[in-house]
Structures are given as C-alpha cells and as structure tokens.
Structure 1
Amino acid sequence: MFASNCSGCNTAWAKTFYDNFSPRIGFAFSPGSSGKTAIRGGYSLFYGPLFYSDFGNNMNAGYTASPNPVSQNGFSPAFNLSGGFPAYPAPPTLDPAIRNNQSVDYITPGFGKPPMIQSWSFQVQQQLAPDLILSLAYVGNKTQNLRSAAAVGMYNNYPLQDLSLGANVLTAPVGSAAATAAGIMAPYPGFVGAVGNALRKYPQYRRFNTDCCLENDGMSDFDALEVQLSRRFRNGLNLQLSYTWSKTLTDADSLLPGQNAGGGLYQNPYDLYQEKSVSSQDIPQMLVLSYIYQLPLGKGHRFFQHGIANAVLGGWQIGAIQRYQSGQPLPFYCASNSFSPGWDDCFRFNPVPGQSVYVPRGTGYNPLNTPYLNNAFFADPNPNPGAPLVFGQLSRVTGYRMQPYFNEDVNISKRFLFTETMYLEFRADAFNIANRHIFAQPYNLNPAPNNAFTNFGFVNSTVDTPRGVQLQATFSF
C-alpha cells in the first residue's frame, strides 16, 4: 500500500470483496401418516470477521518523519528559530531501500476476503415410545480463508530446493569458502549475512515480522455423527443421552507462530496440504448423560403417601450430569538445533521406533517426579549439519492425546410441602463426585532428546477441580 499516486500503487489496506452472498435453506417433513418420524436438513453459508489490529504503527515507513537537529560542535544550538526550522525531506519517501536491513510488515492483497463458513446438517428423528425420541444427525462444516501464519514462512524462508545445501553451508557467511564452493554470491553489493539469508525472496529485509502477514490461507473441516436419546419428564423421570463422534481437521490452529505450543508452527508453508492435521481442539468421542428422577415415594406417588413415612421418605429427587470424552491432542515444538538462518519455520521431530510417547504410569504415579511424556520418543531429523536438511515425520498436531476426561456431577434434594404453593427444599450438589484428577497438557512440550535433565513432559496442573459439595436451602411461597 502506498499513500501516493505512483504507478501501480494503491491506497487501500486490502482489496474489498463484494460477493459475500449468504444463502440459507432448510427443510423438514414427516413421511407416512403416523407422525412418529421427522426428517430435517439444512445448509447455510456465512462469513467471519476480519482482524486488522495486528500491525499498529508498523505501516508508517516512508510516511512519517522525526527530524532531530544536532549541534555541530556540542556547544552551539542546533539551530535558531530566527533562522527558520532546518530543512528535512518531507514524507512520503518512496525510496524502495528505505527499510533495507530492517524488519517489515506486509498485507497480502487478498486479505480483505473474510473467512467463509459453509455449514450443513441432516437429521432423522423417530418416536420409539411415548415421550421417548431417538435422533440421528450428520453435522458438518467447511471453513476457508481462515487467518493463519503460513505467509511468515513463505517470505522468510529460502526455496525448498536449497534445503539440500545442509546446515553447514546455509549458516556460513556469504563470501566464506563454504559459500563460494556452493556457488552462492551476495544478492547485492554490501550484503552482510549468512547463505540462508541471501537465498530468501527478499534478502534486503532482516525479516518479515510474525504479525506481518495479514493473509487468510487457512482452512478447517468438521464432520460429526450425533446420536441423542431424549425422554421428556414422565412418571418422575427426565433423561437425555447424547453421543458425538466427530473429527476436526485444520491447518490454522493459531493466528500467530509459537502459539498453541507447536500447533501454531508450520514446517512447510509452501505446501499447506502437508500442514493439515487434527485440530488442537479435536475431541472425537463424547458421551453425555443427564437425568432427573423423582423417587415414587410420598404424597402423590405410589408408596408411603401418608403419615411419618410420607414426611421422611417423600419428596426426594436425584439428578446427575455425567460426561466422558476423549483427551486433548498433543502438539510438540520443533526439533532442537534444526533452525538455520533464512528458515523461519519448523523442522519437526521423528518418532523413535520401539519407544512410546508416554511414560508408563502405575497406580502410584507421582507427576512431581515422573514425566507424563517420554523424551526418548523424539529424534532430531537433522543430526548431521553436513547432510541435506529434511523435514520431520510428526504432524503439526499429533494424534497422541492426553488422558480422557471423565466427570460426574450429582445432586439430591428433598422438598417439604406445607401448602399447594408453599414448600421448603433442601439440596446437596456434589461436583466431580468421584474426585478424578484429569491432567492438563504438560507445561513444556519442547522435547530435548539429548538433554537428560530436561523438564519436558511434566504436568503441573489439572483441567478439572477437586470434589466439592454445595448445600443450599430454598423456601418458596
């Protein structure tokens, strides 16, 4: 973008798109005459917001000036107001070399295209019995033009074919014997830097900042089978059982590199298809059971309707919400010592055959002195600096997961009726009644296979809370 009338310049942050058509369509019908079956479906297309808050004042190069007159001898004034303000070049300055040897920011012309989300569903509902309904549904969505950090690598990295030079050559200074032997020369007079930096697309810049590349090349896919069994409140029982089997794939887990552990780091930004993996938020299996049951005891019920038995045994109700789901997938940081000048992205680890990613845990597992993850599972894909650089085999977010999440919240209550509209209710809620401990991801997901004293793989927190009991009394009138 240029605030000028130069040839080929524009004065917009990004191109504006006027084709954000957002249709929605749905249908529902009940085949046959029983009215016990319903079939529904729908499709929608909508758009997400754009984020323009990244660059701050980084786009002012060439359009601001901060003159700083200096005294010629250290004693005389830098200038006298009676002689007027010293002359200085007024912006804009369109010299293409103005940011040489400095970091720059960049907005791709297509950044103005917002994320596009397509969503669809198909559901069949069947009444199995009075107040009991079974639902089967397929739900999916596809998102394009997601904000991602891929462009950082495309502008900061040398071409893929130059990986074959190896780390020794790529880290050698331009002009050295290693660089000369490889046929690498300075890209322009006065260049100072390593071979890797000289081979980049724009060697005159130190780098494109990590918040530089306002681009939206990311995508995600979500597909799910949803099964639900529902019973409306009848004969003292209300119940809902839900099961979801799903998968979320994406190449844009994070807006910026380095976020979400290794999940925000690309290995090959030139081929985003290879960066597609399960999302860091992928939970493939989830089962949720919730219910309320009024015991058939006391006035208005089948048993113990009168006297002391009614007062003691009547009015009791129990309920619970039980959740069981897969663990969170694990991303890992880059392999140690695999970065080189001119390569801004990741070289991921290789798995070591015969090693498990998890440390065996017995019944007496203590997270204070035993890691959750096995450091010996990981191997640097480039242990030899003289050999060509190669990418690691682990995916951006791996299929390895933390332990499953299990939780049960239970409540019990008793109601004392005084009149038709006046009653006193006592209630006890027990959260995480089994007092399970579900570990959070380790605080250090950066393997160091050659360091026996690393703190990689240790956990220091949980994703749930200890068992808690809450008591309450309510008087209603």
Structure 2
Amino acid sequence: RVFPDAPLGWVFPGDPGIPNTLAKPQYDRFAPRLGIAYSPEFSGGILGTIFGGPGKTSIRAAYGLYYTAVEDLTLFGEIGDAPFGLFYVSPTAVYLEEPYKDRISGNDPGQRFPYTFPGVGATGFWGKFLPIAVSPAYKVDNVMPYTEHYNFNIQRQIGSTTVLTLAYVGSQGHHLLANLPFNPGSPARCFEINAILAQSNPAATPCGPGFEDQIYDLGNGQFAYGTRPYSVTSGRYLSQGLLDFGDNAWTSTLANSSYNSLQVSLEKRVGALRFLGAYTWGKSLDNGSGYRDYLNPYDQRVDRALSTFNVAHNF
C-alpha cells in the first residue's frame, strides 16, 4: 500500500485494486442530433388563413444529446485530501486557549501545524488527520454527465416586418454531479446508546444531532465509538480518543434534472432597427442543482424539488 497504516478504506492510486485514474475515459458515448423543418404551402381556406400562405410559416422540431465534462473545480477537492492537505475540524467542543483539547474527555491530540507532507511508505502520522471528515472522494464508477435537449417551434410572419414565434423547449439532465454522504450517523444507533446511558450513566452527554463523532462511555468497560457505519475501521488511535472517519461524501454522478418551458417572442423590424419582446414560462426540477448539493444518502428521489436557479416567468 502507498501508506501502509492508513485507516482501512482510505486508499490511493497504486494500492491493490485501485485504478490509476479518477475515472476511465469513455470513448463509446454517441451524441446524435436530429432536426426537421417544414413550411406549409396552404394558399386558401382556413389553413391558408392560419398559416398565412406559402412561405409565411415554418415549423421546426429538434432533438440532441450532449455530453459534458466533469467540472474541473470538483477535482480540486480531492487534491487536498489527507495526507496531501491538512485542515482540522474538532469533532467535539474544545477550549479557546487549547483548540485541540476535548472538553468532555480531556483528550488532546496536540498541535497539528506546521505540517510536513509524508513520503510514500511513511507511517505513524495519521493521528494528525483523524477523524478524516469533510474530505470529498470521487466515485470511480462515475459516468459522463449528459443532457437530452428537445424543442418544437412555429414561426409565423405577420405582415412584411413582424415575426411571431411560439416554442416548447425542454431538457433532461442525467448523471449530474452532486455530493452523496456515505458515512451518515445512524439514528437507530443513537437511540440505542441513549437507552443504555439512561440506565448506566444518566449524567452523560446524550447522543443526538451534532454528536455523531462522540465516544460514549456505556459503563462496565463498554464504549460506543460514534454512530456512523465507518466511524472506526482500524482503530489505531482510539487510545487518543480519535475515530477514523467522520462525515464524508462522494462526488457522485447520481443527480438528474428536467426543464420544460413555453417560449413566446415577437420581433419587428423598422428600417435599420429591430425590436424584440420575449417571454418564457418555465419550470426546472432536480435533486441536485450543483455539485455542492448533498443528496439524501438513503433515497435520492426525495430530494427532487425546484432547482435553486428556477425562474418561472422571464420577460
């Protein structure tokens, strides 16, 4: 392994079974575009009146599939992951004058800065990073995000200088980037801990929101090491009151979106001048409006709602 005593599950390119790239290139992505246009030739009757006669109306429809690259900004999160970058967020309350000392247990892991980056194969330094938290991880099975775009519009010439356009425009976004927490606290485990504490240690700090990374003394030599599924994977620094992992998330291509709109415009030419008026009635839905959005770790469908950038009426 690149770092032999890294917490179990914290791996690096070069470790057994780990690919040497964040995501494999995908060369089999086909992105077709299709468009059709039709101009009615009705010259009489009610259809001639509606369409204005030959050459006065055009009807168009189009569909396209567009792939996009993963935003480069997201990759800067991973380059600061332990042990290639160091920041510290205390999992418990600390003292102002002793910013690393746990007020409850008295554990003090010591000063963490300045920091010297370890070389490949180095060991014994992980206490400075634990618990590893708020460290994004890129899912190696991510796929390339893409959007399906489609539209249908009718353009009608009115007189010799005015054009009216009515259009439906829609899109569907697939495999969009968002953050997926993979180490959430367990409410069931928290209730279990509180039930034990109520009997063995009623004065202890109860388990609840914000205390997922606490070590609980359950009495009779028994301890509960946090409430997350991966709070402890190796446990090499438990004697110092340090869990292995806190709250972390994957940068994952699990989000999706949809957009539907009615668009109307009226354009008039007066000499060398052009006047344009336009209106859009639209609705955008998604379960992740950007890669910084966090999805529900248990069911991403419940996150689906209006996009943060949704504009219903735009003139």
Please indicate the TM-score interval, normalised by the length of the shorter structure.
0.5 to 0.7
Amino acid at match of 2:194: V
Deviations 1:55-74 (A, max 9, x none): 2231547xxxxxxxxxxxxx
Q: Name the % identity.
A: 23
The 2-side partners of 1:20 and 1:28 are apart by: 27
5+ long unaligned stretches in structure 1: 62-88, 183-190, 257-263, 288-477
**Structure 1 residues 31, 93: CA separation in 2 closer, same or farther (over 3 Å shift)?**
farther
* Counterpart among 268, 283, 298 of residue 247 in structure 1: 283
TM-score by length of 1: 0.42
Once the two structures are TM-superposed, the CA of residue 214 in structure 1 deviates from its matched residue by 2.1
Map of 1:121 onto structure 2: 151
Relative contact order: is structure 1 or structure 2 higher (C-alpha 8 Å, sep ≥ 6)? Answer: 2
Once the two structures are TM-superposed, the CA of residue 12 in structure 1 deviates from its matched residue by 2.5
Tell whether the 8 Å contact from 2:58 to 2:155 is kept in structure 1 after alignment: yes
Could you list the structure 1 runs, at least 4 aligned residues long, displaced by more than 4 angstroms after superposition: 97-101, 170-173, 175-179, 193-197
Once the two structures are TM-superposed, the CA of residue 119 in structure 1 deviates from its matched residue by 0.9
* Counterpart among 132, 153, 166 of residue 103 in structure 1: 132
Amino acid at match of 1:206: F
* Counterpart among 219, 224, 237 of residue 261 in structure 2: 224
* Structure 2 residue 68 is matched with structure 1 residue 39: no
Deviations 1:127-186 (A, max 9, x none): 22222221110101111222212x12x32332x6x28939x839969x85699xx9xxxx
The 1-side partners of 2:274 and 2:13 are apart by: 66
**Structure 1 residues 200, 254: CA separation in 2 closer, same or farther (over 3 Å shift)?**
same
* Structure 2 residue 191 is matched with structure 1 residue 165: yes
Please state whether the residue corresponding to 2:215 is helix, strand or coil.
Answer: coil
Number of matched pairs: 231
**Structure 1 residues 2, 220: CA separation in 2 closer, same or farther (over 3 Å shift)?**
same
Tell whether the 8 Å contact from 2:170 to 2:261 is kept in structure 1 after alignment: yes
Deviations 1:266-307 (A, max 9, x none): 5x33211111111121111122xxxxxxxxxxxxxxxxxxxx
Map of 1:374 onto structure 2: none
* Structure 2 residue 252 is matched with structure 1 residue 215: yes
Please state whether the residue corresponding to 2:302 is helix, strand or coil.
Answer: helix
Tell whether the 8 Å contact from 1:22 to 1:44 is kept in structure 2 after alignment: yes
Deviations 1:230-283 (A, max 9, x none): 21225x974322111000111212432xxxxxxx465x3321111111112111
Higher Cα Rg, which structure: 1
* Counterpart among 215, 219, 223 of residue 192 in structure 1: 215
The 1-side partners of 2:259 and 2:139 are apart by: 27
Please state whether the residue corresponding to 1:203 is helix, strand or coil.
Answer: coil
Instruction: Give matches, 1:54-133, under 5 Å.
Output: 54-58=77-81, 60=83, 91-92=120-121, 101-103=130-132, 105=135, 106-111=137-142, 113-133=143-163
Once the two structures are TM-superposed, the CA of residue 100 in structure 1 deviates from its matched residue by 8.8
Map of 1:387 onto structure 2: none
Deviations 1:414-450 (A, max 9, x none): xxxxxxxxxxxxxxxxxxxxxxxxxxxxxxxxxxxxx
5+ long unaligned stretches in structure 2: 1-10, 43-53, 85-117, 208-213, 218-222, 233-243
Once the two structures are TM-superposed, the CA of residue 193 in structure 1 deviates from its matched residue by 4.5
* Counterpart among 65, 68, 71 of residue 48 in structure 1: 68
Please state whether the residue corresponding to 1:165 is helix, strand or coil.
Answer: helix
TM-score by length of 2: 0.61
Amino acid at match of 1:215: S
